[in-house]
Structure formats: C-alpha cells, structure tokens
Amino acid sequence: MEKKKVAVPLVCHGHSRPVVDLFYSPVTPDGYFLISASKDGNPMLRNGETGDWIGTFQGHKGAVWSCCLDTNALRAASGSADFSAKVWDALTGDELHSFEHKHIVRACAFSEDTHLLLTGGVEKILRVYDMNRPDAAPRELDKAPGNVRTVAWLHSDQTILSSCSDMGGVRLWDVRTGKIVQTLETKAPVTSAEVSQDSRFITTADGSSVKFWDANHFGLVKSYDMPCTVESASLEPKSGSKFIVGGEDMWVHVFDFFTGEEITCNKGHHGPVHCVRFAPGGESYASGSEDGTIRIWQLSPPNADDNEAVNSNGKPTVGVNEVARKIEGFHIPKEEEQQQQQAEG
C-alpha cells in the first residue's frame, strides 16, 4: 500500500507574537523576498525561496498590523498600532520615513510605480504619501465608511481598493477624484483582499466565504463557502487554477479554483492562520499564524521520482549556492559562502 505523502513545510521562527500579515515581492534580479508583520512590533525580511532570515526592521513601539515591499524590493513599509506608518530601506534596514497618524494604522501598500504609499486604519481615512516628497502633507481621499482593514492598488495605480473591519464590502476608489466609484458587496467584513498578479481578479475572504471578482468589470466570478471562518485567501499567480485559504481551524487549505473542491489540507500550525500568500512564481506559498511562526509550503508534495527537487525530509533542495549567488555580497558574508562551498564540496 502506498504511503501517503505529507507536506513538510519550511518553518520560519523569529517572531515572538502572532504573525498577522505577509507580503511577497515580485521576482527581482536578487530573487524574491517575503516580509512579515507581527504583534511583536518587529517586521522581518526573509529570502522568499528558502525562508532564511535576512533582517528585522526595528523602530515601531507597538504591534505591526501590515507590511509590504515596493516592486523592486528596495523599500519596505509597515503600519502599526503606535499610530505610525514607516518606510524602510530594505537593503540596510534603516528607517527612511515615519508618517504619523492619529490612530492605529491597519494597512499600507506601495503603488506599482513605487512613487506612492497608501495607508488606512482606525481613523477611517485613506492617505496617499508621495515618496518623492515625503515631507509634504499626504493627499486624503473622501472619508471611508468604517475602520480600514485592507488596501491595495489596481489598474496601474488608477484605482484604490479598501475594505473595512466593521462592515462588509470592498470599496473601489477613483484615485483622480478621490471618490468611491464601486462597491463589491459581501455579507461579512472583508479581512483579506488580493489583486491577482495578472490584474484579472480580486480575491476576497469574508466570514466563511472566499470570492473572486472580475477586477475590470467588478462582477462576481466565483464564490465558495468554506468549512470554517477564514481570514485570508490567495490565488495561484501563474495558472490561476488553485487558491489557498487560512483561518480559525489552524489548517492551510488548497482548493481547485474551477470546482471549489479541496485538493490538500496542510496541518502544522498551533493557532489560527491569519494570513496566506502565494510566492510570485506559484510554486510555494506562505502562512502566518497566531503561533508566531511562518510556514512555507510547496504547492504539491512531489512524487518519489522527483529526487532532484526534494530530499528525504520533504524539504526542497534548491541549491544553496544558487540562492547565495542571488543575494551574494549583501546578505551572506564571503567567509560563510566559502564555508558552504567547502561543506558541499
């Protein structure tokens, strides 16, 4: 009888409190990166492929609720319960700017062209900061109807998306006029909203439902009821044929986009899963939990004959040298790299 293969994730320790937000950068010349927000107040940057810790951004004085990287992964931003949003140099970890707010900042997002930073939170105000003139007062859009929970850009930075923590629906704002032009109706508050890599879909999680919306015409494409209350959902970026979900049951579920059938159920977290996101290539995905860990899962446990992809622990054996080359000179000291080569030689 064939033994059923169990997915073995890469487990990333480091946060001392719950992990509440995850964000992958696009693929850059140096590879791709994963940033995490935690209630411990210390956002962390990792190699997106291996999960290896690169650095911690230190300076917030309260829980960090949101984090993001710009398109080139050169700058990071974070929104915090200390009433500030901060922008960081992602290469050095230095704080570049701190934008003071009058209440908790729950969400932040860089524009696709990297020139603007969008923030939202308990003040019920969406603010747009010009990264070329960080000392200038931000632009404020019309007042949001509730406490802002999520924000995102779409339509080449012409439209802003937001959801509220105290009411259902996703609101779409015209950046030019600063006004709401469309609302995508949901019964429960939307706790996660993601614009797909090809900009075709908006993926939302509300209550125990995951919905997929046409990002251009705003019609509802798919809606699936989940087995538990879900907090986050993410669509596989390349084929769009699968999506992942995390929520109260502590499991990370993989579903078929077209049928809604569950494909895989990953167990391992010891607390509710607050955030799930696909890596930019779609080959793996990350989950962040109340238990303080991040887990990076391969999309499907490979077959036994895929020896070059996986070792006996079920962990990917992506060449250390390959990753070291990508980030050589600014993440891995030369001596360490030489030691690695000797160890492998």
Amino acid at 256: D
Structure confidence by residue, pLDDT tens digits, 196-246? 999 999 999 999 999 999 999 999 999 999 999 999 999 999 999 999 999
User: What is the distance between the alpha carbons of residues 25 and 31, in angstroms, rounded to a whole number?
Assistant: 9
Question: What pLDDT is attached to residue 310?
Answer: 36
User: Do 296 and 43 form a contact (C-beta atoms < 8 A)?
Assistant: no
Q: Reduce the DSSP state of residue 34 to 3 states and report it.
A: strand
Question: What pLDDT is attached to residue 72?
Answer: 97
User: What is the distance between the alpha carbons of residues 116 and 236, in angstroms, rounded to a whole number?
Assistant: 26
Q: Which residue has the higher pLDDT, 66 or 323?
A: 66
Q: What is the mean pLDDT of the chain?
A: 89
Band of pLDDT at residue 4, cut at 50, 70 and 90? low
b (16+ CB within 10 A) / e for 153-189: bbbebebbbbbbbebbbbbbbebeeeebeeebebeeb
Q: Which of 332, 270, 335 is nearest to 54 (CA)?
A: 332
Q: Which of 338, 337, 319, 339 is nearest to 328 (CA)?
A: 337
Within the chain, where are the H helices? 320-326, 334-344
Question: What pLDDT is attached to residue 7?
Answer: 77
Band of pLDDT at residue 61, cut at 50, 70 and 90? very high
Band of pLDDT at residue 142, cut at 50, 70 and 90? confident
Which residues have a Cβ under 8 Å from the Cβ of 161 and sit 6 or more positions away?
150, 151, 152, 153, 154, 170, 171, 172, 173, 193, 195, 202
What is the share, in percent, of the chain residues with pLDDT greater than 70? 86
Residue 319, pLDDT above cutoff 50: no
Question: Which domains, and CATH codes, for the chain?
Answer: 21-229 (2.130.10.10)
pTM comes to: 0.86
Q: Which residue has the higher pLDDT, 316 or 274?
A: 274
Residue written as token pair 């900061």: 129
Retrieve residue 222's tokens: 């798919």
Structure confidence by residue, pLDDT tens digits, 246-301? 999 999 999 999 999 999 999 999 999 999 999 999 999 999 999 999 999 999 75
Structure letter (DSSP) for residue 341: H
